[in-house]
Amino acid sequence: NDRALAKKISTAVDCKIFEHSDPLVLKKVLGDAQVAVASRFHAIVGALSQATPVIAYGWSHKYEELLSDFGHPQWAVQPGTDLSSAADGLWRDEDARSVLLERGADLREQNARMWAEVVQTLT
């Protein structure tokens, strides 16, 4: 059901739509992209975790919370948002990748500490 919306977005910001059935291929494409526009949570995570700036299009509060974890809550957009303006803001953010890399490293470290505590508690 996302294809019509994807077409509208791709027309508005002059970008390609990429689809593939293999999630590893999709993750690689997200990691190689300069920027992404996504409406699915795992696609947004796949982009952010590889320091790819992403416009997260959706209604759920979890998108903005995820983007906040990576230092960019402003990349969450909802229906009615001017997508061209949102894309321009994302392109102009010269520090976007460095912030994503730094926050990603911090989040991976927090995750490792959490799992170490879980393993210690269970053993």
Q: Over the stretch 39-88, which tens digit does the pLDDT of each residue have?
A: 889 999 999 999 999 999 887 889 999 999 999 988 998 878 877 788 78
Task: Label each residue of 57-109 as H, E or C.
Answer: ECCCHHHHHHHHHCCCHHHEECCCCCHHHHHHHHHHCCCHHHHHHHHHHHHHH
Confidence label for 93 from pLDDT (cuts 50, 70 and 90): confident
Indicate the pTM of the whole model.
Answer: 0.80
The residues, ordered by sequence, that sit 6+ positions from 51 with a Cβ below 8 Å of its Cβ are 97, 100, 101, 104
Environment class of residue 102 by beta-carbon count within 10 Å: exposed (0-12), middle (13-18) or buried (19+)? middle
Q: Is the pLDDT of residue 99 over 70?
A: yes
Using DSSP's 3-state secondary structure scheme, residue 1 falls into coil
| pLDDT value at residue 24 | 92
**Contact by Cβ (8 Å): 69, 56:** no
